Amino acid sequence: MIAIRQPIGVVGVITPWNFPNAMLTRKFGAALAVGCTVVTKPASETPLSALALMELGKRAGLPKGVVSIVTTHKHTKDIGKHLCESHDVAGISFTGSTAVGKHLLKQSADTVKKISLELGGNAPFIVFEDADIDKAVDGAIAAKFRSSGQTCICVNRFYVHSSIKDMFSERLRDRVRKFQVGSGFDKETTHGPLITEGAVQKVHSHVEDAIEHGAKLLVGGDPKENIGHGYFYPPTVLGDMKNNMRIAREETFGPVAGIFEFETEDEVLEAANDTRFGLAGYFFSRDVGRCWRVAEKLQLGMVGVNTGLISSEVAPFGGIKESGIGREGARQGLDEYTQYKLQRLGFLAFSSLIPQMSYSIRFVTTPEDLAKCHDVRMRVFTDEQGYDADVEIDEIDSECLHWIAVDQNDQGAGTARLYKYSPTVGKVGRVAVLLSARGTGLGRLLMESLEKYVIENCEFKTLALSSQVPRQGFYEKMGYAAQGEVYLEEGQPHIRMEKRLSQSN
């Protein structure tokens, strides 16, 4: 049995405005890497970034039609609906609000698409009584006021233990008071504008609602305060927050830090998890046991422990509950653009199996490096069963290499295996047996099939193949191993094979 992964096909990508290049490249990278093509609709607020990225791809040699971009503001809903309902589109990858994500999910139901959604959040930030307060304030600045609070993983609710609430609030207030809001062309500016006038109004309505319900304004709060023309809102800190305020339930998406007070660990966990969102969260504590315990109990897709920064290209990014489906980035990000296929093979002569199989022999050298083929060797260290091994390839750093090993006794019966090498660190990798067959005369049949397969199906020019018996033990009763290489003669690839007798024979 063989399980392979294949690209799902055409993917519809819909991205937001807050990271116009990063959102596109994170999705494009994974989709293109596994073989998908992309039709993308960037945010109407930031279309030029997508068009510039497309131009760079064109200059770099990206084939026409691999990535297509549709820009619109007036017909945004129509484009989204068409991508979701089209039978030509196999998957949807969307980053944006939860409300829009739910709508796209419903529209994709009739065509049963593969869906990846990275949606809104309501991130908690917990400061326990044993936390390093200065480090917690540093984490709060990074996690709340990055991009003026306009990221999906920005903190929305600060929970601070009652014994240190005043100290934390004062230090956070003093830091925020030093921020300079203004144009990004001004070198003194620390924080820029919000995206639209509507965003400014929403943020201010959250501040007004909190104050009306008893919150204390520590700094900021006036959208006209020391700021010129533009969609600016001053970084704001609020104290004495309560659960009946809108900030406790709604994502603010702006530079407002509302501080709630708590007494016990159980109490704050219940409050932090009391939301339909589950994207990201943060907490600070010196207690190692508490760090593991709280991180596991928080109902979130990502948790920052004693840090306000959690995003990384090598980590899976995504949420749970109504904050999304699937992951982006890291190895897990490839899963959103692939599907598995099981191939279960019944009895089939091994000579005919090789040309029909879905695996290919990968070329590991260029035509200019043909002479190096003679220097390529593989050192294989098998276990007792011969199924897994560590491999080191000298001089050639190959992404993936398949090769054949044939063991046959003097009666003509033996075993043939197709191996696959994949690197893990540097030139050291893992070997796995993909196919194994036992029978009579396998050596001759296998080599004939291998030569036929390479000549008929491989587009490359040169290839180094090598397999050898590494030690006595499992193989000591076998007759020989086959070693060979592909070479060019009058422009045609040929295989030169060599049979090597084992020491026991």
Which positions are annotated as active-site residues? 118
Cβ within 8 Å of residue 451, ≥6 positions away = 494, 495, 497
Token output for 328: 């982006």
Burial 383-392 (b: 16+ CB within 10 A, else e): eeebeebebe
Identify residue 415 by its one-letter amino acid code.
T
For residues 70 and 77, what is the distance between their CA atoms, to the nearest angstrom? 12
Answer whether 362's CB lies under 8 Å from 400's CB: yes
SS3 31: helix
SS3 197: helix
For residues 418 and 432, what is the distance between their CA atoms, to the nearest angstrom? 9
Answer whether 238's CB lies under 8 Å from 210's CB: yes
Put residue 465 in one of left, alpha, beta given phi > 0 → left and psi -120 to 50 → alpha: beta
For residues 497 and 486, what is the distance between their CA atoms, to the nearest angstrom? 9
Per the listing, tokens 């990206």 go with: 62
SS3 191: strand
Token output for 460: 């490359």
